[in-house]
């Protein structure tokens, strides 16, 4: 049996509370409601119990809904999606509520079962994504501490420069020169090297080149600050520097003139020539661990943990970028939103492990259907997927969508809970846009989502579209 959503209704008006309960009962949601009529009572309940969603009226006997939001600890606001209700229809109150931590806003005069259900599902989905994002951030922090531990053990000075040649990171080995890593961050590389460094050497230090084309064994002088133990005997030391350009694409693609890429900065490794005989294997091993950890973190932040394809965060970044490109190039772009038909019933019949296996198979099939490197398939959330087809017109997108629909059906994944087919099927909603000033990513997604609901309303296992063509 599916777990009921725990909904807290914060409203002092008994009639309004009953009205909200009727709307919830007539929706497709399985809910169990809880009630609070005062701010203090609501705050205590929110802190002591983990609700799936909170419906909050703005006008309460002991204050406003905004005041309740401000009274909540940040942890509780981050944990539970909160939908703000008011009868005033004042958009300034809505903006203030959203700024204070509300997930959504519904004027009471627009309340309906459909509006509540849509807002609750959307808010819960966004809250779940935010929780995953925070969890990923915690992992990133842990990994960052691991990197710093690794880098602290490396005897050579490792410096990361940004595109303006400013120091964005330096490891603790720079203490040998008398510099504090935190205080030197943000300084230009010129502040670290000796005045005897010429323009050609600076150009080598800040190279954009990679691999063998980068800078190797560049001998320069680095300043010694008065806090260094060797300051009394010398004001600078000779170091041997290797420098490599950092890009947002793999090294093998940097030299490809047709590859869109962005220069991120330069990585410097400075070896103290006074200790040149130190074991270099330790540095190589540390660098290897660092690169592996960075790759692991990049994969974690952009890849769906279950299916292995790009996640919602990666899709949002990619789609926003591609819509801007389409506007600039005046070319079409197509978005297809995909939903597995009767997936809840599939989980009920076969269990969540089988459901996960089904999601993986669908994801692999979507990924395999892509014909061009510029196309993307991503998991949007739950049983929903998206496919982005830059440069694809309506005809091409329809042909692609129909091919995908047939491919999923041909997997012949048994589905006894489906009302339309003995195997797993999908419904597809698509939107092809020739982006204009008003056709932003959100509008294209909205049209594709509406088309998906249309496909489901018309019987599922089919394609519907809602285009934005000039």
Q: What is the DSSP string of 16-72?
A: HHHHHHHHHHTSS--EEEEEE-SHHHHHHHHHHS--SEEEEESEETTEEHHHHHHHS
Strands 104-107 and 82-86: parallel
Express each pLDDT in 210-220 by its tens digit: 776 788 888 88
> CA-CA distance, 192 to 185, in Å (whole number)?
11
Q: What distance, in Å, lies between the first and last C-alpha atoms of the chain?
A: 48
Q: In what helix (H) or strand (E) does residue 328 lie, and over which residues does it extend?
A: helix 312-329
Neighbours of 405 (CB within 10 A): 19
Which ranges in the chain are annotated with CATH 3.30.450.20?
Answer: 156-277
Neighbours of 260 (CB within 10 A): 11
Neighbours of 127 (CB within 10 A): 18
pLDDT of residue 90: 67
pLDDT of residue 280: 45
Domain 312-465 annotated CATH 3.40.50.720: no
Which ranges in the chain are annotated with CATH 3.30.70.270?
Answer: 312-465
- CATH (residue range 156-277): 3.30.450.20
The tokens describing 74, both together, are 């940040």
CATH ID of 5-127, from 1.10.357.10, 3.40.50.2300, 3.20.20.370, 3.60.60.10: 3.40.50.2300
pLDDT of residue 279: 43
216 is catalytic: no
* Active-site hit among 137, 383, 395, 437: 383
Total number of residues shown for the chain: 470
Q: Which residues lie closer than 8 Å to 421 by C-beta, 6 or more apart? A: 341, 409, 415, 461
Which ranges in the chain are annotated with CATH 3.40.50.2300?
Answer: 5-127
Report residues of the chain scoring pLDDT below 70.
1-2, 75-78, 87-90, 151-152, 212, 273-284, 286, 290, 292-300, 435-438, 469-470
């Amino acid at each position: 049996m599916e777990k009921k959503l725990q909904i807290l209704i914060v409203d002092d008006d008994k009639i309004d509370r009953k009205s909200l309960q009727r709307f919830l009962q007539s929706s497709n949601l399985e809910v169990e409601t809880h009630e609070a009529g005062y701010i203090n009572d609501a705050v205590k309940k929110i802190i002591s119990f983990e609700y799936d969603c909170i419906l909050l009226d703005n006008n309460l006997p002991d204050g406003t809904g905004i005041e309740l939001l401000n009274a909540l600890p940040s942890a509780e606001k981050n944990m539970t999606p909160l939908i703000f209700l008011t009868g005033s229809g004042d958009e300034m109150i809505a903006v203030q509520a959203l700024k204070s931590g509300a997930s959504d806003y519904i004027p009471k005069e627009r309340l309906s079962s459909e509006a509540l259900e849509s807002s609750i599902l959307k808010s819960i989905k966004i809250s779940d994504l935010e929780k995953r994002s925070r969890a990923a951030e915690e992992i990133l922090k842990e990994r960052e501490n691991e990197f710093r531990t690794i880098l602290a053990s490396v005897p050579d000075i490792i410096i990361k420069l940004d595109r303006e040649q400013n120091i964005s990171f330096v490891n603790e080995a720079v203490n040998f020169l008398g510099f504090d890593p935190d205080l030197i961050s943000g300084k230009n590389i010129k502040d670290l090297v000796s005045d005897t460094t010429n323009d050609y050497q600076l150009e080598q230090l800040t190279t954009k080149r990679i691999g063998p084309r980068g800078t190797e064994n560049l001998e320069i002088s680095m300043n010694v600050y008065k806090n260094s133990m060797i300051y009394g005997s010398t004001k600078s030391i000779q170091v041997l520097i290797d420098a490599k350009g950092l890009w947002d694409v793999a090294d093998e693609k940097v030299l490809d003139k047709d590859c869109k890429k962005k220069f991120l900065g330069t990585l410097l490794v400075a070896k103290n020539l006074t200790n040149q005989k130190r074991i270099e294997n330790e540095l190589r091993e540390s660098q290897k661990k660092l690169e592996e950890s960075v790759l692991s973190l990049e994969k974690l932040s952009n890849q769906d943990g279950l299916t292995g394809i790009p996640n919602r965060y990666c899709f949002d970044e990619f789609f926003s970028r591609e819509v801007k490109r389409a506007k600039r190039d005046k070319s079409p772009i197509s978005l297809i939103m995909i939903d597995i038909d009767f997936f809840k019933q599939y989980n009920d019949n076969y269990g969540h492990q089988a459901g996960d296996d089904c999601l993986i198979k669908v994801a692999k099939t979507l990924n395999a259907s892509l014909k061009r490197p510029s196309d993307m398939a991503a998991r949007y959330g739950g049983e929903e997927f998206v496919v982005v087809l830059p440069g694809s017109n309506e005809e091409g997108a329809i042909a692609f969508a129909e091919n995908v629909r047939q491919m999923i059906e041909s997997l012949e994944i048994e589905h006894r809970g489906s009302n339309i087919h003995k195997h797993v099927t999908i419904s597809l909603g698509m939107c092809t846009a020739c982006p204009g000033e008003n056709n932003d990513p959100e509008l294209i997604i909205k049209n594709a989502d509406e088309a998906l609901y249309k496909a489901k309303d018309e019987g599922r296992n089919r394609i519907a579209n809602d285009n934005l063509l000039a």
